Amino acid sequence: MAADLTIPNKTLREFARLVEEEAVNPWEGELKVGVDLGTANILVSVTDSAGCPVAGVSTPSCVVRDGIVVDYVGAIRTVRSMKARLEEKLGVRLTKAACAIPPGISPGNTKAIGNVVEAADFELTAIIDEPTAAATVLGIKEGAVVDVGGGTTGISVIRNGEVVLTADEPTGGTHMTLVLAGFHRTTTEEAECLKRDPAQESSVFPVIRPVVEKMASIVAGAIRGHQVETIYVVGGACCFKEFEGIFEKRIGIPTVKPAAPLLVTPLGIAMNA
């Protein structure tokens, strides 16, 4: 049976509000910080010691690609300025942070991610794997977590709270944007804006539907042989209303999407920090 997401959804909505708005200032008490170096967005999340969201900032970025730091100096500069913004929001200094890695990246690339966090003047407390971060927020111990990001889709199966399978496939929101740009013979920048405009969803979705169907077949292939009762979709590229319905139909496994799917993994990094 699918986990009851009522409480995680409430937490995620609260975190979404905190990313947009101001935080309690000055904050008193212990804080946990998580840095998510994504392909499309960098997110720094802050929770209290119990894991309740306290503040967050998000910045579009292209300094990291699929877990690989491609612009080291730019990544440090971005994380530093996000740290400063958060310190201003909270009126306190942030000294420690955790970060996360997508499934299957090499030790060298893992080290580079940690180095960015340290070079941005954080003491690195932990390097968490992204599916574990997402599962913490969702409060699940069983099921598959599919993180549809910018460049890649991370697929993991969790059993008894342990990650028993991970795969990272080269498909994601960027792929949708490219298909949309090709269809309209326009630039990727324009296609990206069109894709994210909720008012255009009814005309955008039929164009990118084959990409979502292909993603579903990729996920079905990756989890084959594993007993999965529920698929949880997270990540920015699953924001479309019909997304989980297509997964459910194609894969034949109930598929649920939490509120603010873009924020699930980033929040989970802070919770595990």
**Residue 196's binding partner out of ligand ATP, Mg ion, none, with CB under 5 to 8 Å set by partner kind:** ligand ATP
Q: 32 near 47, Cβ under 8 Å?
A: yes
| 86/43 Cα distance (integer angstroms) | 11
The one among 12, 23, 40, 223 contacting ligand ATP by CB under 6 A: 40
34 binds ligand ATP (CB under 6 A): no
The one among 85, 196, 209, 214 contacting ligand ATP by CB under 6 A: 196
User: Per-residue string for binding with ligand ATP, 42-61, x by CB under 6 A?
Assistant: --------------------
> Residue 27, Cβ neighbours under 10 Å: how many?
18
**Residue 56's binding partner out of Mg ion, ligand ATP, none, with CB under 5 to 8 Å set by partner kind:** none
Residues 95-154 that bind ligand ATP (CB under 6 A): 149-152
Choose among 261, 255, 169, 253: nearest CA to 211: 169
156 binds ligand ATP (CB under 6 A): no
Shorter beta-carbon distance to ligand ATP: residue 116 or 237: 237
User: Per-residue string for binding with ligand ATP, 223-252, x by CB under 6 A?
Assistant: ------------xxx-x-------------
CA dihedral 224, 241, 133, 29 (to 10 degrees): -170
Shorter beta-carbon distance to ligand ATP: residue 27 or 166: 166
Minimum distance of ligand ATP from residue 265's CB (angstroms)? 7
3-state SS assignment for residue 179: helix
Residue 231 backbone phi and psi in degrees, to 5: -105, 130
The one among 39, 45, 156, 171 contacting ligand ATP by CB under 6 A: 39
| 54/196 Cα distance (integer angstroms) | 26
**Residue 151's binding partner out of Mg ion, ligand ATP, none, with CB under 5 to 8 Å set by partner kind:** ligand ATP
Q: 98 near 136, Cβ under 8 Å?
A: no
Binding site for Mg ion (CB under 5 A): 38, 149
Q: What angle do CA 52, 173, 19 make, to 5 degrees?
A: 25
Minimum distance of Mg ion from residue 78's CB (angstroms)? 15
Straight-line distance from the first to the last Cα atom of the chain, in angstroms, rounded to the nearest whole number = 29
169 binds ligand ATP (CB under 6 A): no
Shorter beta-carbon distance to Mg ion: residue 5 or 263: 263
DSSP codes joined into one string, 107-164: HHHHHHHHHHHHHTT-EEEEEEEHHHHHHHHHT-SSEEEEEE-SS-EEEEEEETTEEE
Shorter beta-carbon distance to Mg ion: residue 38 or 114: 38
For ligand ATP, the binding residues (CB under 6 A) are 38-41, 66, 149-152, 172-174, 192, 195-196, 235-237, 239, 262
